A and B are shown apart, each in its own frame.
Chain A
Amino acid sequence: MLQIPLWKRVLIIALCLAGLAMAAPNLFYPRVEAHNDALAAFEKSGALTADQAAARDAWPSWLPSGLVNLGLDLRGGAHLLAEVHVDEVYAARLKSLWPEARRVLAEERATLGAVRRVESPADELRIQIGEAAEIARAVELVRTLASPVVSLTGVGQNDLEVTGEGDIVTIRLSEAERTATDDRTMQQSLEIVRRRVDAAGTREPTIMRQGTDRILIQVPGIGSAAELKALIGTTAKLTFHQVIGRAGDANSPAGAGNIIVQGQDERDGFYILDEVAVVSGDELTDARPDTDQNGYPAVAFRFNPTGARAFGDFTANHIGEPFAIVLDNKVISAPVIQTHISGGSGIITGRFSVQEATDLAVLLRAGALPAGMTFLEERTIGPELGQDSIEAGRIAAIVGLIAVVAFMMLSYGLFGVFASVALLVNIALIFGIMSSIHATLTLPGIAGIVLTIGMAVDANVLVFERIREELRKVKGPARAIELGYEKAMSAIVDANVTTFITALILFVLGAGPVRGFAVTLIIGIATSVFTAIFVTRLLVAVWYDRRRPKQLEL
Chain B
Amino acid sequence: MAFRLKLVPDHTTFDFFRHQVLTFGFSVFLVLASIGLVLTMGLNFGIDFKGGTTIRTESTQPLDVGAYRTALAPLNLGDVSITQVFDPNFDADQHVSMIRIEAQAGDEAITPEQMVSIEEALKAADGAVKIVSTESVGPKVSGELIWTAIWSVLAATAAILVYIWLRFEWQFSVGAVAALVHDITVTVGIFSLFQIKFDLTIIAALLTILGYSINDTVVVFDRLRENLVKYKTMPLRDVMNISVNETLSRTVMTSGTTLIALIALLVLGGDVIRGFVFAMTWGVVVGTYSSVFVAKNIVLFLGVDRDKDKKDPADKFFTEKVADADN
Interface residues of A (CB under 8 A from B): 73, 81, 83, 224-226, 229-230, 374-382, 384-385, 388-389, 391-393, 395-397, 399-401, 403-404, 407-408, 410-413, 443-444, 446-447, 450-451, 453-455, 457-458, 461-462, 465, 468-469, 472, 483, 486-487, 489-491, 494-499, 501-503, 505-506, 509-511, 513-514, 517-518, 521, 553
The residues of A that contact B210 with a CB separation of less than 8 Å are 502
Contacts known (A413-B4, A450-B269, A509-B151); A376 close to B211, Cβ less than 8 A: no
Contact A447 B265 (CB under 8 A): yes
Q: Which residue of B108, B246, B249, B261 contacts A375 across the interface (Cβ within 8 Å)? A: B108
Query: In the bound complex, how far is the Cα of B106 from the Cα of A369, in angstroms?
Result: 22
Residue on A with the closest CB to B53?
A: A378
Contact A385 B325 (CB under 8 A): no
Q: Does B189 contact A (CB under 8 A)?
A: no
Contact B134 A389 (CB under 8 A): no
Contact B201 A388 (CB under 8 A): no
Encode contact with A along B194-208: 1 for CB under 8 Å, 0 otherwise: 000000110110011
Contact B155 A443 (CB under 8 A): no
The residues of A that contact B211 with a CB separation of less than 8 Å are 498-499, 501-503, 521
The residues of A that contact B137 with a CB separation of less than 8 Å are 376-377
Max chain B Cβ within 10 angstroms of own Cβ: one of A384, A400, A457: A400
Query: In the bound complex, how far is the Cα of B208 from the Cα of A401, in angstroms?
Result: 20
A221 CB to nearest B CB, Å: 14
Query: In the bound complex, how far is the Cα of B265 from the Cα of A396, in angstroms?
Result: 5
The residues of B that contact A509 with a CB separation of less than 8 Å are 148, 151-152, 155
Q: Which of B241-299 contact A (CB under 8 A)?
A: 246-247, 249-250, 253-254, 256-262, 264-265, 267-270, 272-273, 276-277, 280
The residues of A that contact B156 with a CB separation of less than 8 Å are 501-502, 505-506
**Additional 12 contacts, C-beta under 8 A, given A382-B130, A455-B215:** A376-B140, A392-B269, A393-B265, A396-B265, A397-B265, A407-B5, A447-B276, A457-B257, A458-B254, A510-B152, A511-B200, A521-B208
The residues of A that contact B134 with a CB separation of less than 8 Å are 224-225, 378-380
The residues of A that contact B6 with a CB separation of less than 8 Å are 411
Q: Which residue of A376, A393, A494, A506 contacts B270 across the interface (Cβ within 8 Å)? A: A393
Contacts known (A411-B5, A447-B276, A514-B203); A455 close to B132, Cβ less than 8 A: no
B255 CB to nearest A CB, Å: 9
Q: Which of B179-226 contact A (CB under 8 A)?
A: 200-201, 203-204, 207-208, 210-212, 214-216, 218-219, 221-223, 226
Contact B4 A382 (CB under 8 A): no
Query: In the bound complex, how far is the Cα of B250 from the Cα of A287, in angstroms?
Result: 71
Contacts known (A404-B257, A461-B253, A506-B152); A374 close to B264, Cβ less than 8 A: no
Contact A389 B260 (CB under 8 A): no
Tell me which of B36-44, B75-83, B157-165 binds A. B157-165
Contact B107 A376 (CB under 8 A): yes
Residue on B with the closest CB to A402?
A: B264
Contacts known (A226-B112, A379-B134); A451 close to B214, Cβ less than 8 A: no
Query: In the bound complex, how far is the Cα of B253 from the Cα of A489, in angstroms?
Result: 18
Contact A472 B204 (CB under 8 A): no
Q: Which residue of B138, B257, B269 contacts A454 across the interface (Cβ within 8 Å)? A: B257
What would be 30 A-B contacts, judged by CB atoms less than 8 Å apart?
A374-B108, A377-B138, A379-B135, A381-B133, A382-B130, A384-B58, A389-B270, A392-B89, A393-B265, A396-B267, A396-B269, A397-B265, A399-B264, A408-B257, A444-B273, A453-B261, A454-B257, A454-B258, A454-B259, A455-B258, A458-B258, A469-B246, A487-B325, A494-B167, A494-B219, A510-B200, A511-B200, A513-B201, A514-B203, A518-B204
Q: Which residue of B116, B138, B155, B219 contacts A505 across the interface (Cβ within 8 Å)? A: B155
The residues of B that contact A514 with a CB separation of less than 8 Å are 200-201, 203-204
Residue on B with the closest CB to A73?
A: B272
Q: Which residue of B7, B132, B208 contacts A384 across the interface (Cβ within 8 Å)? A: B132
Interface residues of B (CB under 8 A from A): 1-7, 10, 56, 58, 89, 107-109, 112, 115-116, 130-138, 140-141, 148, 151-152, 155-156, 159-160, 163-164, 167, 200-201, 203-204, 207-208, 210-212, 214-216, 218-219, 221-223, 226, 246-247, 249-250, 253-254, 256-262, 264-265, 267-270, 272-273, 276-277, 280, 318, 321-322, 325
Contacts known (A377-B137, A491-B223, A495-B218); A486 close to B325, Cβ less than 8 A: yes
Contact A444 B276 (CB under 8 A): yes
Query: In the bound complex, how far is the Cα of B11 from the Cα of A472, in angstroms?
Result: 10
Query: In the bound complex, how far is the Cα of B203 from the Cα of A230, in angstroms?
Result: 33
Contact B222 A385 (CB under 8 A): no
Contact B136 A400 (CB under 8 A): no
B210 CB to nearest A CB, Å: 5
Q: Which residue of B138, B164, B250 contacts A376 across the interface (Cβ within 8 Å)? A: B138
B324 CB to nearest A CB, Å: 9
Contact B89 A450 (CB under 8 A): no
The residues of B that contact A511 with a CB separation of less than 8 Å are 148, 200
Contact B318 A450 (CB under 8 A): no
Q: Which residue of B3, B115, B261, B321 contacts A451 across the interface (Cβ within 8 Å)? A: B261
Query: In the bound complex, how far is the Cα of B53 from the Cα of A378, in angstroms?
Result: 9
Contacts known (A379-B136, A400-B265, A491-B222); A498 close to B215, Cβ less than 8 A: yes
B325 CB to nearest A CB, Å: 5
The residues of B that contact A226 with a CB separation of less than 8 Å are 112, 115-116
Q: Which residue of A380, A384, A450, A472 contacts B262 across the interface (Cβ within 8 Å)? A: A450
Contact B269 A393 (CB under 8 A): yes
Residue on A with the closest CB to B223?
A: A491
Q: Which residue of A403, A458, A553 contacts B1 across the interface (Cβ within 8 Å)? A: A553
B231 CB to nearest A CB, Å: 15
The residues of A that contact B254 with a CB separation of less than 8 Å are 455, 457-458, 461-462
Q: Which 4 A-B pairs have the closest CB atoms?
A: A454-B261, A392-B270, A454-B258, A400-B264
Contact B215 A490 (CB under 8 A): no
Query: In the bound complex, how far is the Cα of B269 from the Cα of A404, in angstroms?
Result: 16
The residues of A that contact B207 with a CB separation of less than 8 Å are 502-503, 505-506
Q: Which residue of B107, B131, B219 contacts A83 across the interface (Cβ within 8 Å)? A: B107
Contact A376 B261 (CB under 8 A): no
The residues of A that contact B250 with a CB separation of less than 8 Å are 461-462, 465
The residues of A that contact B201 with a CB separation of less than 8 Å are 444, 513-514, 517
Contact B112 A229 (CB under 8 A): yes
A127 CB to nearest B CB, Å: 33
